[in-house]
Chains A and B, each alone.
Chain A
Amino acid sequence: MATKLPPVDALLVGFGWTGALLGQELSDAGLNVLALERGGWRDTTTDFATTFIQDELRYYYRHALFQEPARETLSFRNSRSETALPMRQLGSFLPGTGVGGAGIHWNGQNWRFLPSDFLARSHNTDRYGAAAIPQDMTIQDWGVTYDDLEPYFDKWEYLCGISGKAGNIKGQIQPGGNPFEGPRTREYPNPPMEMTYGPTLFAQAANDVGLKPFPAPSANMSRAYTNPLGVQLGPCTYCGFCEKFGCGNYSKASPQTTILPVLLRKKNFALKTECEVIKINLDSDRKRAVSVTYVDTQGEEYEQPADLIVLSAFVLHNVHLLLLSGIGTPYDPSTGAGTLGKNYAYQIVSSVDVFYDDKILNPFIGAGALGMVVDEFNGDNFDHSNLGFLGGGYIACWNTNGRPIETHLVPDGTPKWGAKWKRAVVRDYLRSMSVATHGAVMSHRGNYLDLDPTYRDFLGRPLMRMTFDYTDNEHRMSDFLTGKAEQIARAMKPREIRSNPRKGHYDITPYQTTHNTGGAIMGSNPRDSVLNRYLQHWDVSNLFVMGSSTFPQNPGYNPTGTVAALALWSAQAIRTQYLKNPGPLVQA
């Protein structure tokens, strides 16, 4: 039997970015807040120190900061005709664990989605007609608009000290920024990062072919910064160990470097680590969440009651926990009925490598979000008439790293090993770089999450099962982007280029991106979505769900900026509406 604990006002399940944001907001509102985190405590000096964090083997290839599949993983198949098998080792995506979550090891590429991204169905219907959306493409509007979220994007960017150049301030296009972005109220808090050679060459070539390159918005600090909470971040040193690593310099925005020094000192906040929530418990009429059950590392079970419960774990865990708790109706792809697990999506990436004879690029001088980008082919920034696909993505020259196990580009036709391979690596390591495309994945009827009938995790719970593949829409879109990237790469006048288009089925083994989305999506009515526009569960009004699990489909940008803006938007609704009058914020 679980030991029943005294109640708290608000309970957070998972303590990464959204947990920290909600912890700060709800404790500011005077609530007694408790966060439960399945992993351990981490801090910069103890765990990410500059004396040892630059260790490619330990942190990337041996996954020191990531979720262990031995404890929790999922099963995967490309389609319902296959039997899902467990993801036995991490590959395609790298969920975090421990305090800070994936906010520790992200690159810091921070975006706002486009205004039209939030209106995926209505906007595309208006512009191209209903017939342009294939029948099995289950895209939806979000129920929230860019204008709703703008104040929260702004708040988040100032919290994190994002380095960048505005492209649109209150409707006025700004030279040097992204002319396609939605209007923002003010400039970024910090100027863009200093550019290395590779992105500079990319930007010149992009200009030459008539595009408008701009510096990527970055959560790596271009200068020392004190955020509105009074927490200080240091200038980035361009060490090239960002994504997959913690930052030893306090130079990358993370929960630890922006919020926790303030939040953890509050009297009305507590964090319990190494506590794994296994179930959300409802009352007898299943309209109210009364508590969660968690298990500690000794295997002891506890029941923690709370008035308000917020799921703030990674996208996959939020959905898994809802499935395990039996909250909501699981989605059935054969009928389209049910909403829980619906519209799982991902992103589709490709690249074009560029090789010079005469230019030393020093790829190791880098940072996670250091780069130049063009946005002409993202979202609906271009006319899709007769292209045969919807959506888009950005094309960027990121200079994230020159870590040699991971990054040693070789030209087309080079063997993968042996003397010729070695010669190419030695010749090209300092003289090569990559142009990346980062594309949207529209939701599709056959892509979803449910519980696996066979495989179980370390606590005996059914694994979540992922059924996912790219559709023709994604392949056409990605090929289109790759072609544009090739044009820019050629305009860079290199010795040669190597194009790496994305072909075939989605493959769970090579690393692509940790931008998993959907499964507990938001929307404007309970027939189509799990959550209302405030991320409140339609059926259980004291349950809120954060994270990219709320995305009805996945736009062509990195998700963290929108994840954070949604969390702050939801927190504001809780503070100003829900706490005064607990109950549904939107009538179904």
Chain B
Amino acid sequence: MANTERAASPGLNRRALLTAGIVAGSSLAISSGSATADTISQQVPWAPGEANNPAPVATGGYQFFTQDEVAWVDAVVSRLIPKDELGPGARELGVTVFIDRQLAGAYGRAERWYMGGPWAKGTETQGYQSRMAPAQLYRAAIKAVDGYCRNGFGGKAFVDLGAEQQDKVLGDLEEGKAKLEQVDGKAFFKQLLLNTQEGFFADPLYGGNKNMAAWKMIGFPGARYDYRDFVSKHGQRYPLPPVSLYGRPHWTPKG
């Protein structure tokens, strides 16, 4: 047979290999750089009870944002997806917590991104070319947007502006009209808007979309997995409420 100098014997299961330090398995949630090489032969690796479950975000206080930054993000996401007669907005659904946890983690550090130099601005079609990872970008951009506001609005920071003025600032960022110190305002706005929508619509385990309220608003049933009975019911509204990866709140008895 082929050379398999470190072949796993067929009887040795994945957990035993893990314990023995031979296999690191497929750790999808983390950078795969930490895994070790493995040889698979004459078996299909599998072990009971192994699952690459997602981890819910930690509860409690903010991990990345300062209190001033929290106020800034609360204010911005309230304009991007406002509370209205249709239901809660991004702030009410925990999007600030969502972004905080994202920036405190692998995403905030741009762990998966290519961050080697040299750096150049490039064309629009070449995509993100900042040397700042998202966490650095947010910190710098929040400061820069406040500086831009103070210049244009008599010394007021973003959070002190009225809703219309806030919308004007956000619109200028979106269209690239607001020139910021050290930061590409247009690129930042694009990322901020995407992160806000992510927090609003992602599974609640990541900190936003509290009680699946965003899903209820639009009619998305969430992490369901079998619609076979309903495929042919053209034009009918799906009757079941949404469910998240960790179930529904009322599945957990109170007290």
Residues of A within 8 A of B (CB): 5-9, 32-34, 39-43, 45-47, 49-52, 54-58, 61-65, 68-71, 73, 76-78, 82-83, 85-89, 91, 97-99, 194-197, 200, 235, 237-240, 248-249, 260-261, 264-275, 296-298, 304, 359-360, 362, 364-365, 402, 404-405, 408, 416-419, 421-423, 425-426, 429-430, 454-456, 458, 505-509
* Stretch of B65-73, B142-150, B227-235 lying at the A interface: B227-235
Give 11 pairs: A residue, B residue, CB < 8 Å, sorted on A. A34-B2, A40-B32, A41-B45, A42-B28, A49-B52, A52-B245, A69-B112, A78-B125, A85-B120, A273-B35, A422-B84
Categorize the interface residue count of chain B.
Answer: 35 or more
Kindly identify which residue among B51, B114, B201, B222 contacts A70, using a CB–CB cutoff of 8 Å.
B114
Bound-complex Cα distance A296 to B38 (A)? 9
Are A508 and B219 neighbours in the complex by a CB distance under 8 Å?
no
> For the complex, what is the distance from the CA of A118 to the CA of B18, rounded to whole Å?
48
Q: Are B202 and A56 in contact (CB under 8 A)?
A: yes
Q: Which residues of B contact A456 (CB under 8 A)?
A: 116
Q: How far apart are B178's CB and chain A's nearest CB, in angstroms? A: 15
Q: Smallest distance from the beta carbon of B132 to chain A beta carbons, Å?
A: 11
B1-54 residues with Cβ-Cβ distance < 8 A to A are 1-5, 7, 23-29, 31-47, 50-54
Q: Are B37 and A237 in contact (CB under 8 A)?
A: no
In the assembled complex, which residues on chain B have CB atoms less than 8 Å from the CB atom of A89?
110, 112-114, 127-128
**Which 9 pairs show the lowest CB-CB distances between chains A and B?**
A40-B26, A429-B218, A296-B37, A270-B41, A57-B202, A69-B114, A237-B226, A197-B234, A54-B223
Determine whether the beta carbon of B37 is less than 8 Å from that of A52.
Answer: no
- Cβ-defined contact, B54 with A6, below 8 A: no
A505, chain B: closest CB distance, angstroms:
5
A32 and B1 contacting across the interface, CB-CB below 8 Å: yes
Contact A237 B174 (CB under 8 A): no
A73 lies within 8 A of B114 (CB): yes
Given the interface contacts A239-B224, A419-B82, does A68 sit within 8 Å of B112 by beta carbon?
A: yes
Cβ-based interface call for B254 (8 A): no
Contacts of B235 in A (CB 8 A): 197, 359-360
Q: Are A71 and B218 in contact (CB under 8 A)?
A: no
In angstroms, Cα B193 to Cα A417, docked, is 8
Residue among A9, A425, A429 with most chain B CB within 10 A: A425
B125 touches A271 (CB 8 A): no
Residues of B68-100 contacting chain A, CB below 8 A = 79-82, 84, 86-87, 89
For B255, the chain A residues whose CB sits under 8 A away are: none
Residues in A with CB closer than 8 Å to B201 are 56, 404-405, 408
How distant is B29 from chain A, measured CB to nearest CB, in Å?
Answer: 7
Contact at B116–A63, with CB atoms within 8 Å? no
> Contacts A260-B44, A418-B80; is A55 near B28 (CB within 8 Å)?
no
CB pair B223–A88 under 8 Å, yes or no, is no
A404 and B220 contacting across the interface, CB-CB below 8 Å: yes
> Would B120 and A426 count as touching, CB distance under 8 A?
no
CA distance A262 to B4 in the complex (A): 18
CB distance from A47 to the nearest CB of B (A): 5
Q: Are the C-beta atoms of A47 and B3 separated by less than 8 Å?
A: no
Interface check B181, CB cutoff 8 A: no
Q: Are A55 and B29 in contact (CB under 8 A)?
A: no
- Complex contact A296–B2 (CB within 8 A): no
Q: Which residues of A contact B84 (CB under 8 A)?
A: 419, 422-423
Say whether A417 contacts B236, CB under 8 Å.
Answer: no
Q: Which residue of B lies closest to A263 (CB)?
A: B44
A5-B5, A55-B223, A405-B197 given; A273·B120 CB < 8 A:
no
Closest to A456 in B: B116
In the complex, chain A residues whose CB is within 8 Å of the CB of B203: 55-57
Question: B122 — which chain A residues lie within 8 A by C-beta?
Answer: 83, 85
Chain A residues near B211 (CB-CB < 8 A)? none
- What's the Cα separation between A422 and B27 when bound, in Å? 37
Across the interface, which residues of B come within 8 angstroms of A6, CB to CB?
A: 3
Taken together as a complex, chains A and B put the C-alpha atoms of A68 and B40 apart, in Å, by 23
In the assembled complex, the CB of A225 is this many whole angstroms from the nearest CB of chain B, namely 15
Q: Closest CB-CB distance, B232 to chain A, in whole Å?
A: 6
Separation of A235 and B226 alpha carbons in the complex (Å): 10
Q: Is the CB–CB distance between A418 and B167 below 8 Å?
A: yes
Q: Are A264 and B217 in contact (CB under 8 A)?
A: no
B52–A52 touching, CB < 8 Å: yes
Contacts A46-B46, A54-B225, A270-B7 given; does A196 touch B218 at CB 8 Å: no
Are B35 and A33 in contact, with the CB atoms below 8 A? Answer: no
On whether the beta carbons of A297 and B123 are closer than 8 Å, the reply is: no
**B58, CB-defined interface residue at 8 Å:** no
Q: Which residues of B contact A454 (CB under 8 A)?
A: 118
A297→B31 contact, CB < 8 A: no
By the criterion CB–CB under 8 Å, are A423 and B45 in contact? no
Which of A78, A88, A240, A304 is within 8 Å of B129, CB to CB?
A88
Any A CB within 8 A of the CB of B107? yes
From residue B195, how far is it (CB to closest CB) to chain A in Å? 9
* A274 and B86 contact, Cβ closer than 8 Å, known pairs A91-B127, A429-B219: no
With A and B bound together, what is the CA distance between A506 and B123 in angstroms? 11
How far, in whole Å, are A65 and B230 apart by their CA atoms in the complex? 30
With an 8 A cutoff between CB atoms, is B206 at the interface? yes
Query: When the two chains form their complex, are residues B86 and A423 in contact, meaning their CB atoms are under 8 A apart?
Result: yes
